[in-house]
Every structure is written in structure tokens, then in C-alpha cells.
Structure 1
Amino acid sequence: MSQSPYQSPGGQFMPNGRPRPGAPTSAEGSPSFQSQPRYVDYGNPRAYDTSVRPAAGITAARHAPAQIQRPAQAQPQSAWSTQMRRVQEVAQHGTKLPAVSIVVWIAAVVLGIALLLVLGFFFLRFVTGSSANPIWWPVTAFIALISLVVIALVMFLADRWDPQPFPLLIIAVFWGAAIAAFISFWINSFNSLLTWWITQSEAAVAFVGPVISAPLVEEITKGLGLLLLMVLARRYFNGPLDGLIYGALIGGGFAFTENILYYTRGLEAMGGDGVLISFVMRGVLNIFGHAIYVSATGIIVGFVARKWGTAMGFLVFIPALIPGMLLHALWNLAATLGGGNGLVLVVMYLLEALLSLLWMGVIVALIWDESRLTRVRLGDYANQGWLTHEEVDMLATWKGRREGKRWANQIGAKPVMKRFIRESADLASIRQRLLADGANPKVVAQETHLLGRLTSNRQELLSHTG
């Protein structure tokens, strides 16, 4: 009987029989170290070719071109079996830095307090201005929360390739639910009063408020949350998928607070039936509306920042608002002009369903795009000797990640493998940012740290193999 290719958890093969990443591939007795790493062409996505810039004077990189760092010695093909000789290098870089700064945590706490104050304000406004039982307000808040949870779950699935730090996701939700919703409420109210004062026409107020004021004001206030996230943690806002995730959560948070207002209005007009109808129309049939509007802005800002750098990401903010504003205005226009017509409502929600499906398709495409770019950028490091090409396949493909975690689970090191995968994806993002922004000393230091973590994670995995 032939011997199974899987010898042991610490052997050369993974549970599926494929060679373990880093296992020896050369013949027995051949040299285990390559002074020059084998070069593999991983391609270069044209969408992120940083050498082509629309206006050299404005979008030029702020720093000198970033040359990829080279290791003291290239990884041999038998990298995982020789890492024990690099303990000193690991010790120099193995200290784990916090994922986000203390400023990010402070911002999350401040915005959380702001959300409590905003919700408290709207609760007091409901209690003092409505004849309904005050217990209805937390009921409407809970119903509004259902839609937010659904959006958050969709974004959780979209964020699995290179997960964002939890505090940043919380900041996105809190910004939309507290700051954007509160500011928009007052500015929209002022614009409605101003329109009435000028025109003395209820029809004008009914048109200007939802069709002109709301799209302009709300998309700007929500979009400013994206800029806040870029300021707080540019390292984690590095592409269209990041922009979509942050934007959708901002929009979901905004819709949460806005839906409470609409549900309480439905309560005052029709009682419990009004709440149910409002929930079906806003929380079910149009659940992704605000998420789509803001994510359109986030996709554009994230794409431009990845391709042409941080400065251009900020400069493109105003043009990036236009798609979301147009979609928002068109929806409100249709609701304003044909809201009482059953056929118009059916057509509106069918188009909204198609838009939501298209949005889901964009999410899938951006996840694929993210994984492809991760493989290309990790390939840059493999060609310099930091990784073997087998490790690139393990760290930058869904199949490789599954196999790597399955193998690591066999030796009791699955958490280490998950960290290895996560930090490698972060390293790939840093490499792309260096190509776009140039050799920013702060970003180069982050790259150096992550390269050290690369070695540290590999060595820790090896320690489990005995």
C-alpha cells in the first residue's frame, strides 16, 4: 500500500495532500537557500497603475518614489523549515503595535455619547409633541434597528477579506446616526421654513425639501464621515471596498435615526398600522437606499486614494458626492410626484430592488478586485525574497487561506494563521499606498513593522510544528 502524502501536522503536506506552503520543493541534497529569489510575474492591474496621473502638478506623489524593501536574505524554498535561524530578526520586529490609535477610540466614545444625546433629543421631542404613548418611541427605535443590523451583517460579509478595525466601523455607524442625522434634520428644517417664507407655497416646500435640500444636505453630512475616517485612519481606508463598507455603515446609521422619525410620524397619522406600513416601505423595500448613496461616494474616494494618493482622495470628495445625490434626488422626486399612484410605487420599488441587486454585484466584484490586488502586491514581496510564491498563493487566495487555516488547525495554531493572513493583507495595502503616495516615512515605518510581523508570524507557526 502506498504511503499517504499527509505525513503529520508538521510534515510537508497539508490535509488535502497538497504541499504545505514553504515546504521543500527542491530535490534532496540540493541547496536549501536561494540567494536570488525566483521571479514570478503577478501582473499589475491597470486600474491601479499609479504611474498614470490625470494632472501631474496636482496629483503628483507627495514623496519620492517608494522602493520596495529587501530582506537581509531571501526566503529559501524551504523557508518554513529554516526560520528558526532568524530569531534575532524576529525579536527586533515582533512587538505588536495597536491596530488603531487612541484618538480613534476617543472619537468612537465621543460619537457614542453624541448618539445618546441625539436619540434623547428626539425622544423628548416625541414625548412633548405627540399624543401617543411614550412607550411607542423605543418600539419604533427597535424596529429601525432591525434594518441597521441587516446592513451591518451584509457589510460584515463584505469585509471578510481584509477586516477593518471594529472602532472604525463603529465610528461610521455613529457618525451617520448622530452627527449626519442631527445636522441634516436642522438644516433641512431651516430650508423648508426658508422656502415657505419665500414662496408661501406648501407645494414648493413639499418639492424643495425632499428633492433639493435632502439630497444635497444629507449626502454632504454623511460624506464628511468618510473624510473623518480618512483623517483618523488612512491606513485602513485604502480602496473602493473600504469606501463602500464605511459608506454603507454611515448610510445605515443615518437611516436608523431617520427611520425612527418616519415611524413615529406614521404612528401619529395611522397608529400601529402606520408604523407597519412605514417599516415595510422604508425598512424592507428601501432598506439599502442610504447605504447605496453614501457607498457610491466611498467607492470613488477609495478608488482615487488608492490610485493617486491621499491628497487626491480628499480633492475628489465633492465630485464623488454627485452619484449619491442624483440617486437620492431621483428617488425622492419619484416619491413626491407619484407617491399616491400605486403603479408608480410598484415601479419605484422594482427599480430599487434592481439597484440593490446591482449594488450586491458591485460588492462581489470589489471583493474579487481586493483579493487580486493583494496577490499582486504580496507577489512584489515574494519577488524580493520576503515570501515564497507558495505563501503568496496561501495568503492571497480564498482557497489557499482555507487550506492554510485547516492545516494550522491541525497543529493548534489557527489563531496564528489567521493573524498571518490578516497582517499580510494589511501589508499588501501598505505597499499599494506607498506606490500612490510615495515613500512617506510614516508609511514606510508601518511597512517595516509589518515585514517584521511577517517573519514573526511565520516563526510562531513553525514553533507549533515542533
Structure 2
Amino acid sequence: MTQPPPPRNGQYMPNGRPRPGAPAAAPGAPSFQSQPRYIDYGNPRAYDTSVRPASGLTAARFAPAQIQRPDQAQPQSAWSTQTRRVQEVAQTAAKAPAVSILVWLALVVLGLLVLLVLGYFFLEFVLTASSSPAWWPVTAFLAGLSLLVIAGIMILADRWDPQPLPLLIIAVFWGAAIAAGVSYVLNTLNGLLVYLATGSEQAAEFAGPVISAPLVEETTKGLGLLLLLLLARRYFNGPMDGLIYGALLGGGFAFTENIIYYTRGLEGAGAAGVLVSFFFRGVLGIFGHAIYTATTGIIVGFVVRKWGSIMGFLVFLPALIPGMLMHAAWNLSATLDVPLLLMYGGQGLLVLLAMVVLGVLIWDESRLTRVRLGDYANQGWLTHEEVDMLATWKGRREGKRWAGQIGAKPVMKRFIRESADLASIRQRLLADGANPKVVATEQNLLQRLTANRQELLAHAR
């Protein structure tokens, strides 16, 4: 049985239910007592910050973070009347905190370094290769295709609480410039040292990919995670964020590395060598580096979310180990001439596992939003109907559909985006303690939450 079309006055959602916070005069409107209605949203162990590792270094640096209640009791509808404290500051919407100047500076510097590194490899190709220099852009284009696939998947996966674009670009640039450039130099030096120490070219060829490459490359890529954690802790809030940044770091690294391998294939077998290299590295093995570094990012992100920023830095070295082991196993199989079917079959299983983990983390991110927005609802900042709308995929779709009918879809999108940010800030306050700067960010987002609600109400009238 189909639902009747919603009235034009905007009082009903597309599914026929009253919109969140509908005025009390509307049929079925939610009503509240003098105190907010309490609902237990749970506190899954993955989000529980009450038990900390036994170390003085990880003790809370600030007082426990408490949610400040509105000055008045919860009104009949959070949409029709707001508390005095919030009314005073919400007459003009507070500006959303922007990405810091340091982030933009890092983006510019890393962009220049990408040009420098790629320029070096182009110059090396021109001076040493027998092929036409016109082939180099072809190899760069093929390497870029793989990077676009990885970036596209990450952007699609990051729809619940999207990361700022400058931070995503920084991750790619760090991988393509710093990680790839430093690894190229250190791996070359390590291979030379092994050869000088053993006098064996075979030993150097084994130690390079199996020992040096996993240690050096995973460390240089992983340092990009620490840079992002340092520059933009506000946006590095959990394992999903770590996965996104880690995969893009690995994708950027693979972009530069693939150019090197494609040009070597060109020198060895011409155009056919490029195509074969592209098939094995850019198609069958496209996700290798992305998965290795994403694993590190997941571990760091989980620790940051549960135990705070300091532990995130302390866990960095142990977090590198799984990625290093996977990287070493892959390179070892190639060095020992393991059958291709076995090699890429194992790689396929790894990719399948990574996709499952990605799906779980997408679900986990929405669950965290619901739990933490529930904290604010129980203190009177939100209605529980709003939590359902803001913290579920279905609720978001219905909310945007309803907002579209009253000409306020951009406002609803902003309301959804900033509420997810507020939930992440709440989790950070629980993990790190009530850092005054983070508390100020929380207050700013609460002001914006109220302003967004009032703007939606103005459209609905």
C-alpha cells in the first residue's frame, strides 16, 4: 500500500511520518516532558574509552569531557523553540572551522616535491633510455589510471563522513613524492651495501625486495599517516579515516613506482613490455600498496579513537608490522618464482578480505555517529527522531528527500555533515579529555546544529 503524498507545508517526511521536531499541533508530533527522554544507545567496547593502557604517558591530559546541557528544559519541539543560550549565538550561523593554514602549506610543498620527483625520473629516462621520451607520459598515464581507481573507491567509501579534499590530496602527494623518492634512494643504497658486504649480486637482489623494500617503503608511507594525524587530528578520528588515508598514501606511492617499472618494461620488451607490466602491476596487483598502508592506518585509527592521540603516535611502529609482513610475503613469492596463479590468487583473497573490512568499517562509522549523537539527544540538544534521521542511511535519504520538497536540500546536507563531525568530536573528547580547543570546536558545531535546524524550520513554514 503506497503512502499518500506529503502535504506541501513540509510537516511530513516522504514516508508519511511527521518530520523530526514537527510542531505540537501537527498530528503525531513528538512531545517531551520537562526533562529530555532518555534512550540507551549503548557504548560498544570499540568506542569505550574508560579503560586505558597502563601507562602514565596515556593518562588523560585534561579533565573528563562532559556535555553541557541547554539552559532550559527540553521544549515541546526542538524545531519550534530553542534554549536561551543557543538562541543568543544562533542568530547568525557560526563559520565552520576551516582546514588550517599548515595543511594548505603542506599541500603546496608536497605538490612541488611531486613535480620534482617526477621530473627527476623523466630526466633519468631521457638520459639513459634508448626509447623515445614520448613514451614516458604514456607510462605516467597508465600509472595514473590505477591511482584514479583507488582514489575513486576511497571517495565512494568515504561518503558517511567525508574527509576534506586537501587532506586526501596530501596523502596522495606524500606517497608519490616523499615515500617513493626516499624509498628509491634508501633501497638503492641498501642493495649496494649488501653487495659490498657479501660480494654477491644474488644476495643483493634478494635482500632488496624481501627485506629492504618492506621495511623502508612501509615506514616512509606510514610517516604520512603521522603527518596527517599531526596536522589534522580533528579529521583523523578512527579506523575508517586511517584506511582512507593509508590507501591513498599507498596509491600515490604505487603511482610513482609503477612509472619506474613500466619504463623498465619498455626498455626490456618495448610496447609489449609496458602492457605486460601494466597488466600485472596496474590491474592484477593494483591494490597491494594501498592495502599494506591501509592496514597500518586502520590500527592507528582504532587506537586513536579508543585511547587518544598520544597512543596513536606510540602504536605507530607496531602498526607497521602487518603491512611489512604482507609486503615481504608478496615480494618473496615473486623472488622465488612462485606460480602466477598461486601469487595472484592469494592477492585476490587479500583484496576480498580488504573489501569485507571496508564494508564493516562503513557500518561501524554510522553506528558511532548514532551512539554519540544519542549522548547529545539525552542531554536535550537533539530529539531522538533527529538522531534516527542523522545517523542512519535510511534516515538521511528521507531527510534529504523531504528537504528537497521544501527547497532546503543543501541545508539538510550541511546538517547531516556537521552532525557526523559533532559525533566524531564527542568521541575525541572522550578519548583525549576536554582539550579546550576541542571543546570550543564542539560548542561551535552545536551552534551550527541549532542554526541549521532553524534554517530548515524557516523553509518548512
TM-score computed with the length of structure 1 as normaliser: 0.95
Measure the CA separation in 1 of the matches of 2:29 and 2:288. 61
Go from structure 1 to structure 2 and tell me whether the alpha carbon gap of 1:313 and 1:110 turns closer, same or farther (over 3 Å shift).
same
What is the CA-CA distance between 1:33 and the residue it aligns to? 5.8
Measure the CA separation in 2 of the matches of 1:205 and 1:74. 73
Aligned to 1:350: 345
Measure the CA separation in 2 of the matches of 1:401 and 1:97. 21
What is the CA-CA distance between 1:82 and the residue it aligns to? 2.9
Measure the CA separation in 1 of the matches of 2:244 and 2:30. 47
Aligned residue identity for 1:58: L
Aligned to 1:112: 111
Aligned to 2:440: 445
Q: Is the 8 A contact 1:99 1:165 kept in 2?
A: no
Aligned to 1:96: 95
1:216 matched to 2:211: no
SS at match of 2:81: helix
Go from structure 1 to structure 2 and tell me whether the alpha carbon gap of 1:28 and 1:254 turns closer, same or farther (over 3 Å shift).
closer
Deviation string, structure 1 residues 166-195 (Cα, Å, up to 9, x no partner): 000000000000110000000000001111
Go from structure 1 to structure 2 and tell me whether the alpha carbon gap of 1:25 and 1:322 turns closer, same or farther (over 3 Å shift).
farther
Go from structure 1 to structure 2 and tell me whether the alpha carbon gap of 1:375 and 1:210 turns closer, same or farther (over 3 Å shift).
same
Aligned residue identity for 1:404: G
Aligned residue identity for 2:8: S
SS at match of 1:20: coil
Aligned residue identity for 2:6: Y
Aligned to 1:454: 449
Aligned residue identity for 2:347: E
Go from structure 1 to structure 2 and tell me whether the alpha carbon gap of 1:253 and 1:75 turns closer, same or farther (over 3 Å shift).
farther
Measure the CA separation in 1 of the matches of 2:346 and 2:23. 56
1:305 matched to 2:300: no
1:429 corresponds, among 405, 420, 424, to 424
Q: Is the 8 A contact 1:301 1:313 kept in 2?
A: yes
What is the CA-CA distance between 1:158 and the residue it aligns to? 1.1
Q: Is the 8 A contact 1:22 1:79 kept in 2?
A: yes
Measure the CA separation in 1 of the matches of 2:41 and 2:281. 45
Q: Is the 8 A contact 1:286 1:349 kept in 2?
A: yes
Measure the CA separation in 1 of the matches of 2:39 and 2:83. 26
Measure the CA separation in 2 of the matches of 1:407 and 1:255. 43
Aligned to 1:330: 329
1:6 matched to 2:20: no
Q: Is the 8 A contact 1:9 1:410 kept in 2?
A: no
Aligned to 1:388: 383
Aligned to 1:136: 135
Measure the CA separation in 1 of the matches of 2:195 and 2:96. 56
Go from structure 1 to structure 2 and tell me whether the alpha carbon gap of 1:31 and 1:435 turns closer, same or farther (over 3 Å shift).
closer
SS at match of 1:81: coil
Q: Is the 8 A contact 1:83 1:462 kept in 2?
A: no
1:419 corresponds, among 411, 414, 420, to 414
Measure the CA separation in 2 of the matches of 1:362 and 1:141. 30
Measure the CA separation in 2 of the matches of 1:386 and 1:393. 14
Aligned to 1:366: 361
Aligned to 2:174: 175
Go from structure 1 to structure 2 and tell me whether the alpha carbon gap of 1:393 and 1:136 turns closer, same or farther (over 3 Å shift).
same
Aligned to 1:38: 37
TM-score computed with the length of structure 2 as normaliser: 0.96
Q: Is the 8 A contact 1:26 1:77 kept in 2?
A: no
What is the CA-CA distance between 1:464 and the residue it aligns to? 1.0
Deviation string, structure 1 residues 198-246 (Cα, Å, up to 9, x no partner): 1111110111000000000000000000000001000000000000000
What is the CA-CA distance between 1:9 and the residue it aligns to? 4.3
5+ residue gaps, structure 1: none
Deviation string, structure 1 residues 53-80 (Cα, Å, up to 9, x no partner): 2214232111111111212235435222
Aligned to 2:148: 149
Aligned residue identity for 1:338: D
Comparing 105-114 with 370-379, greater Cα deviation is found at 105-114
SS at match of 1:238: coil
Q: Is the 8 A contact 1:83 1:458 kept in 2?
A: no
Deviation string, structure 1 residues 94-148 (Cα, Å, up to 9, x no partner): 2213431111111111111110111001100000010100000000000000000
Q: Is the 8 A contact 1:219 1:324 kept in 2?
A: yes
Q: Is the 8 A contact 1:50 1:436 kept in 2?
A: yes
Aligned residue identity for 1:291: A
Go from structure 1 to structure 2 and tell me whether the alpha carbon gap of 1:414 and 1:27 turns closer, same or farther (over 3 Å shift).
closer
Aligned to 1:269: 268
Aligned to 2:184: 185
1:196 matched to 2:171: no
What is the CA-CA distance between 1:5 and the residue it aligns to? 6.8
Q: Is the 8 A contact 1:105 1:167 kept in 2?
A: yes
What is the CA-CA distance between 1:18 and the residue it aligns to? 2.1
Go from structure 1 to structure 2 and tell me whether the alpha carbon gap of 1:27 and 1:9 turns closer, same or farther (over 3 Å shift).
closer
State the number of aligned residues. 459
Q: Is the 8 A contact 1:6 1:15 kept in 2?
A: yes
SS at match of 1:46: coil
SS at match of 2:208: helix
Comparing 433-442 with 22-31, greater Cα deviation is found at 22-31
Measure the CA separation in 2 of the matches of 1:201 and 1:15. 73
Aligned residue identity for 2:153: V
Measure the CA separation in 1 of the matches of 2:177 and 2:9. 51
SS at match of 1:338: coil
Q: Is the 8 A contact 1:126 1:137 kept in 2?
A: yes
What is the CA-CA distance between 1:88 and the residue it aligns to? 2.9
What is the CA-CA distance between 1:4 and the residue it aligns to? 4.1
Aligned residue identity for 2:334: A
Aligned residue identity for 2:322: P
